[in-house]
Amino acid sequence: MEPLLTARGIVKRYGRVTALDQSDFDLYPGEILAVIGDNGAGKSSLIKAISGAIHPDEGEIRLEGQVVNFRSPLQAREAGIETVYQNLALSPALSIADNMFLGREIRKSGPMGSIFRMLDRPKMAKIARDKLSELGLMTIQNINQAVETLSGGQRQGVAVARAAAFGSKVIILDEPTAALGVKESRKVLELILDVRKRGLPIVLISHNMPHVFEVADRIHIHRLGKRLCVINPKDYTMSDAVAFMTGAKVPPEAAAA
């Protein structure tokens, strides 16, 4: 099977610091790929390079075999790659509905939309409400309340709902359960599996080993700015994975499937 999204020899330097050192990456259709690694291993930089938030100094990224060269997150989004960033990328003072449609607002049909550029608020509110209900997040009473009045878990829900609603090829989740309680984490994990069922591949960056081993089909272990290896969670234990990513153990090269 051909990989959907690949990266080869990605290099990113910040001044004297090399965040990514000839890193590779492969995502296959319909899979959940977990990316794990120590703090500072370059996971976030790798994800940002794929999602267009940073521009790598060297290397090549291909989506469905075509070389892509994202200059901004907007271009990655237009190509169908949707990302939930660790800092959520929500605007606190705007409403839930406004946030979900930020950057891709729906205008009213007819002259009110085409000439006066009027937003179709009722339609956006309805879609937003439907998407949040799908995730079981309708404890949010008012779709027009400002995001800053929501709890951390609810904000995460809004961000994930936005990605799931608009992602057409790849969804990237950066630490989606880090700020969540037990119940809310469970919901997000169910949502991740739900999204995979619809055929969308997911990249999951997480420090939470039980979550990673539960949902991931393959685990990409990042170490010192490189892909160290890719393992199948069925063949290894959590402590093996932690040993690989911290350098306590050297992985068998053959495992880099």
Task: Say how far apart CA 106 and CA 195 lie, in whole Å.
Answer: 24
226, β-bridge pairs: 223
Residue 5's closest CA among 34, 25, 35, 23? 25
Question: What residues between 56 and 75 interact with another protein by CB under 8 A?
Answer: 72-74
Which listed range, 8-16, 84-92, 216-224, 226-234, lies at the site for another protein (CB under 8 A)? 84-92
**Of how many residues is the chain composed?**
257
Strand partners of residue 36:
221
Which of 14, 190, 246, 250 contacts another protein by CB under 8 A? 190
Please give the structure tokens belonging to residue 142.
Answer: 């008012």
> CB of residue 4 vs another protein: minimum separation in angstroms?
21
Instruction: Give, as one character, the DSSP assignment of residue 254.
Output: G
Q: In this chain, which of 11, 68, 119, 179 binds another protein, going by CB under 8 A?
A: 119
Token reading at 36: 């794990």
Q: For residues 97 and 229, which CB has a smaller minimum distance to another protein in the complex? A: 97
Q: How far is CA 172 from CA 16, 62, 81, 86, 156, in A?
A: 28, 16, 7, 11, 14
Can you tell me the distance from the alpha carbon of 193 to that of 136, in angstroms, rounded to the nearest whole number?
Answer: 15
* Total site size for another protein, rule CB under 8 A: 41
Of positions 9, 114, 133, 186, contacts another protein by CB under 8 A: 186
Token code pair at residue 222: 């990042």
Kindly indicate which of the ranges 25-33, 93-101, 220-228, 247-255 contains the residues binding another protein, using the contact rule CB under 8 A.
93-101
Q: Which of residues 122-181 bind another protein (CB under 8 A)?
A: 139, 145-146, 148-149
- The residues that touch another protein, with contacts defined as CB under 8 A, are 53, 72-74, 77, 83, 85, 87-94, 98-99, 102-105, 107, 116-119, 121, 139, 145-146, 148-149, 182-183, 186, 189-190, 193, 210, 214-215
